[in-house]
Amino acid sequence: MSETVPQPPKRSRRGLIIFAAIVLALIALVALHLLTRKKPARENAAIVVTVAKATLGSMPVTLSELGTVTPTATVTVLPQLSGYLTEVGYHEGDEVQKGQFLAQIDPRQYQISKQQAEATLAKDRASLAQARSDLERYTQLNERKSIAQQTFTDQQFLVQQDEAAVKSDIANIAQFDLDLAYCRITAPVAGKVGLRLVDPGNYVTASSTTGIVVITTIKPTTVQFTVPQDSLASIVQRMSSGAKLPVVAYSSDNSHEIATGTLYALSNQMATATGTVTLRATFPNDDEALFPNEFVNVKLLVDTMQNAVLVPTAAVQTGAPGDFVYLVNPNNTVSVHKVKLGPSDGKNTVILSGLSAGNQVVTDGTDRLNDGAAIRPASAKAPAGASGAAAKPAAASGAASQHAFQHIFQRVFHHASGPASQPAAAAPSAAASS
């Protein structure tokens, strides 16, 4: 009995082809579904910013200007006569008082001249006494008509001449006394002496322009500065009312305060070239913190505004609309709001018009904003359910797609593998029966 060789089942190969075709079709359907499905609409994310409220408060109205420390007196001590400088009685940089001895010029020639003038005075006084004695005799003789009238008159004129000579001699002596006083040079003002300009032994003259020493009054001192003409009216009004306007001097780099003083004088005319007027403030300067001719920054307190609307300076923006702020609306959006600015102290700025106390403005994050932009204050937290709710539809859609794909794949695989497995299982039984 011959054995029957089993033929390879054709249905198994056909099932594999069908399975592959179905898998490809499913992949195409899934890809088409992913490409054509609508993405969930996303709302524009809110911009996180920092906000602040406009408040009511006081704001000092100050003027910041560049000033120069100007001493109340700067005196160059010059010799009043010529002579050799024999002595210097000061130390460089010392404080001197008015009338204190500074230097000595050789007085000997002036003492000799004074002695000569005193001798001349004695001689002229003797001549005057003789002339007066002669006049008395001439008067008696004239009464008796014993001398000519011309002789009597000439004697009267001679007495007057001698009297004038005596007065001239007295004046010469006074001049030499003054010269002797000038030989002893004293401080004309109180202050600090500078470096020595002439050493002892030098011959000084009255025509010298260098001088012997320079004295500068440091305590008190003044600071001179200019203000624009637009600010002059308020300053004049305050000074006319008797107010003492405080002035604060800061270092040239504005890093620290040097001294506090009071405005006491302003110039009587305005500089037409610059449109400014010069003011001067006085400072006690007991600690000598202000040095003559030093440049300082000056802040003049003109007035203080009360109940002014204040916002942080960082909230104020400048652009095409002019000066504006980003006003926070009740629906958490912002709008460009034009404002009129007032004085500022650096930290806060006065809003003259355009805002009210209690309005919220953006202080940080303005570079990312535009009119109508949605915002979220930095202190507020994003709701936790917002991102979860947005993610649920996508997660649900993805899970449903995956579940449907797995279900279809299982059915196709079962359908493709089922018929092919039946001949394979029956082949042994057929062989056994044969």
Walk along the chain (434 residues) and give the pLDDT tens digit of each residue: 444 445 555 556 777 788 788 888 888 878 777 777 655 545 567 889 999 999 999 998 889 999 999 999 999 999 999 999 999 999 999 999 999 999 999 999 999 999 999 999 999 999 999 999 999 999 999 888 888 999 999 999 999 999 999 999 999 999 999 999 999 999 999 999 999 999 999 999 988 888 999 999 999 999 999 999 988 998 998 988 888 999 999 999 988 999 999 999 999 999 989 999 999 999 999 999 999 999 999 999 998 889 999 999 999 999 888 899 999 999 989 999 899 998 888 899 999 998 989 999 999 988 888 888 898 888 644 444 444 444 444 444 444 445 554 555 455 445 444 444 444 333 333 333 33
Say which CATH number the domain at 232 has.
Answer: 2.40.30.170
Indicate whether 311 and 293 sit together in one domain. no
Does any domain span residue 398? no
The pLDDT assigned to 424 comes to: 38
Q: Where are the beta strands (DSSP E) in 365-422?
A: 375-377
Residue 402 domain flag: no
What's residue 245's pLDDT?
93
Secondary structure of residue 352 in the 3-state scheme: strand
- Tokens in use for 384? 């936790």
Distance of CA 210 to the CA centre of its chain: 39
Beta bridge partners of 324: 317, 338
Global model pTM greater than 0.75: no
Mark out the alpha helices in 184-329 (DSSP H runs). 232-240
Instruction: Give the amino acid at 271.
Output: A
* Host domain of residue 242: 63-71+218-304
In a domain, 16, yes or no: no
Tell me if 327 is assigned to some domain. Answer: yes
Query: Residue 333, SS3?
Result: strand
Number of domains in the chain: 3
Cα–Cα–Cα angle for 364, 367, 371, rounded to 5 degrees: 100
**197: its two tokens:** 């300009």
CATH of the domain at 359: 2.40.420.20
Within 10 Å of residue 133's Cβ, how many Cβ atoms?
11
Question: What CATH number has the domain bearing residue 133?
Answer: 2.40.50.100
DSSP 10-64: HHHHHHHHHHHHHHHHHHHHHHHHHHHSPPPP-PPPPEEEEEEE-EEEEEEEEEE
Confirm whether 370 is domain-assigned: yes
Question: Tell me, what's the pLDDT at 39?
Answer: 56
Q: What is the pLDDT of residue 30?
A: 80
Asked if the structure places residue 140 within a domain, the reply is yes
Note the pLDDT of residue 11. 56
Distance set, CA 430 to CA 2, 3, 8, 424 (Å): 14, 11, 14, 10
